[in-house]
């Protein structure tokens, strides 16, 4: 990139910075957590509203827009060859708010040079920055060989049905990348595995089990209601015990939240409670069988509990010569953890990601990526709040449903997720 172009970009960013921040704030103000499907809103009213707002912003920049039957949308800058097109893809849905916020998560604010608000980094900020990149190309009068589409997803955080619909009904781009990771480019994402583990109705020691707010967020709190004598229970780290009347005890686990894509450093509260129950014999045999199966399945975020070792995802083959001049092939492999933990400078065109259950932040003044997490570990004895949150929870008989990037899921009855993330609920 030549110096003259760099100067143009810097001037453009400075000129548009305040409006860009206002546009991000307008998107952040929309609670776009997946909701109940309805006519014209396959992923709920919030994601639909965020999609509409993004298309409105794009149209205001002079970009061609299309709403793809409310499943997804795009803004496009024309090119000479319409038979092919390049694309970016961002998303405007967000994970549930979770716990630990000190202010309204849907009101963007700037604090110590950081943008704070649900979605500023994942992925509403990058979405808006992408639109401004197309606006720059348009205003500078660049003639493109191929059109560029900024795809606007609104179901990325849960089931990716937006992308599924698009690929079934629209031609795929010849090249696409997502500004939803550490700059400069995301070249892959973790896969998803979904399953249900079902136990018999237990009606034993465990009365109910609940925790978590979403399948792709590590839960920071969980609890189980038990038929037992509190005086016989042992204290344990990150566990609190509360009398619950009629010979019952509420066992609460207090962990550390985070996004399932980057579970390193998190503590799964559901796992804390499960381990406490198993280690202290607070279950009957039927309940134990189920809990042990779930604990084994989720003993780690990479499947080691099942006897699996993470395989390297990058490999290359090299040749070397010995002393006699004979060549030998050798496989070289590199381990990668695929984590994404960074933030988005609002005064540059780079887009990076910082996701956590408690905060969503992005730097407003610095061009240097960094990350923050504000996840509170509370011991106030408050009940985990799962009401009104979108998650694939089941109840009554003890089931587990995992559908995320790190082996976790939703549990009910006597089930739990002990490593990556998930939710649990039961009556």
Quick one: tokens of 132? 């401004």
CA angle (66 as vertex; 53, 353 as ends), nearest 5: 55
Of the candidates 26, 28, 14, 17, the one whose C-alpha atom is nearest the C-alpha of residue 129 is 17
Contact 393, 181 (CB under 8 A): no
Q: Which residue spans within 72-124 are E strands per DSSP?
A: 72-77, 86-91, 109-111, 114-116
DSSP 125: H
Choosing from 23, 34, 52, 156, which is the catalytic residue? 156
d(CA 88, CA 239): 45
Choosing from 23, 31, 52, 93, which is the catalytic residue? 93
Q: For 74-77, which contacts have Cβ atoms below 8 Å and span 24 or more sequence positions?
A: 74/149, 74/150, 74/151, 74/152, 75/131, 75/134, 75/149, 75/150, 75/152, 76/147, 76/148, 76/149, 76/150, 77/134, 77/137, 77/138, 77/144, 77/147, 77/148
d(CA 247, CA 263): 37
Q: Is 2 designated active site?
A: no
CA dihedral for 41, 42, 45, 48, sign (positive or negative): negative
Quick one: tokens of 415? 């089930």
Q: Which residue has the tokens 């694309």?
A: 87
Q: Is 93 designated active site?
A: yes
**Count of CB atoms situated within 10 Å of the CB of 356:** 27
Q: Would you please indicate which residues are annotated as catalytic (active-site) residues?
A: 93, 156
């Amino acid at each position: 990139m030549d110096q003259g172009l760099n100067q143009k970009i810097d001037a453009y960013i400075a000129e548009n910075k305040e409006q860009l921040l206002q546009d991000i704030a307008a998107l952040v103000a929309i609670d776009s957590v997946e909701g109940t499907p309805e006519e014209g809103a396959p992923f709920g009213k919030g994601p639909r509203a965020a999609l509409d707002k993004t298309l409105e912003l794009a149209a205001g920049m002079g970009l061609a827009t299309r709403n793809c039957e409310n499943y997804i949308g795009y803004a496009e800058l024309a090119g000479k060859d319409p038979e092919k097109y390049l694309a970016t893809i961002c998303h405007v849905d967000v994970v549930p708010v979770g716990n630990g916020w000190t202010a309204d998560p849907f009101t963007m604010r700037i604090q110590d040079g950081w943008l704070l608000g649900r979605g500023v980094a994942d992925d509403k900020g990058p979405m808006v920055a992408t639109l401004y990149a197309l606006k720059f190309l348009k205003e500078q009068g660049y003639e493109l060989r191929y059109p560029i589409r900024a795809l606007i997803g609104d179901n990325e955080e849960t089931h990716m049905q937006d992308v599924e619909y698009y690929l079934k009904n629209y031609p795929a781009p010849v090249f696409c990348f997502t500004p939803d990771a550490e700059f400069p480019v995301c070249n892959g994402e973790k896969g998803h595995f979904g399953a249900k583990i079902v136990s018999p109705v237990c009606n034993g020691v465990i009365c109910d089990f609940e925790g978590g707010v979403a399948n792709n967020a590590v839960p920071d709190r969980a609890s189980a209601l038990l038929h037992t004598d509190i005086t016989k229970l042992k204290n344990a780290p990150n566990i609190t015990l509360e009398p619950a009347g009629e010979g019952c005890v509420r066992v609460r686990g207090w962990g550390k939240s985070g996004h399932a894509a980057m579970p390193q450093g998190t503590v799964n509260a559901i796992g804390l409670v499960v381990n406490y129950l198993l280690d202290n014999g607070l279950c009957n045999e039927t309940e134990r069988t189920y809990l042990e199966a779930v604990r084994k399945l989720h003993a780690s975020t990479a499947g080691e509990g099942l006897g699996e070792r993470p395989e390297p995802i990058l490999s290359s083959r090299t040749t070397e010569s010995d002393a006699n001049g004979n060549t030998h092939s050798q496989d070289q492999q590199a381990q990668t953890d695929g984590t994404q933990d960074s933030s988005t400078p609002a005064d540059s065109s780079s887009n990076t990601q910082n996701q956590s259950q408690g905060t969503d932040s992005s730097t407003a003044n610095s061009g240097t990526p960094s990350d923050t997490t504000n996840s509170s570990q509370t011991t106030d004895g408050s009940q985990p709040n799962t009401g009104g949150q979108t998650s694939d929870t089941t109840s009554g008989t003890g089931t587990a449903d995992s559908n995320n990037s790190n082996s976790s899921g939703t549990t009910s009855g006597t089930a739990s997720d002990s490593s990556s993330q998930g939710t649990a609920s039961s009556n």
